[in-house]
Amino acid sequence: MKKDYPRYTLRIPNEILFKLSFVSDFYGRSKNREIEFIIKQHIDEFESKYGIIPVPERFQDLEKEKSQSKKKPKTHKFIFLHIKNSFIKR
């Protein structure tokens, strides 16, 4: 089932894309799911080392918000910069 997640374009060398395809096929996942899995692992490692990254409430349940409104939620740079700066100070 396709979910209505935000889209992000990734530029990647052909060799890495081929290897990603091989690994994702091996584990029975799509390339997109494999990338999502790898990113999630990386975030989990980061959070175990530096602490949980606080996610503003408006980003926690994006599916519910989208179903209630056809407008995409606006991303506010200051929220991300604030979160990023709190980790840099550690």
Which domain range does residue 21 map to? 7-52
pTM exceeding 0.85: no
- Does the pLDDT at position 59 exceed 90? no
Q: What confidence tens digit (pLDDT) does each residue in 13-29 have?
A: 999 999 999 999 999 99
At 58 the pLDDT is: 80
Establish if 15 belongs to a structural domain.
Answer: yes
Contacts of 90 (CB under 8 A, 6+ apart): 50, 51
In a domain, 2, yes or no: no
Whether 12 and 48 share a structural domain: yes
Residues 41 and 61 in one domain: no
The contacts found for 3-11 with CB under 8 angstroms, 24 or more apart, are: 3/63, 4/63, 4/66, 5/62, 6/62, 6/72, 10/35
Q: Are 59 and 85 in a shared domain?
A: yes
Q: Do both 30 and 61 map to the same domain?
A: no
The answer on 69 and 47 residing in a single domain is: no
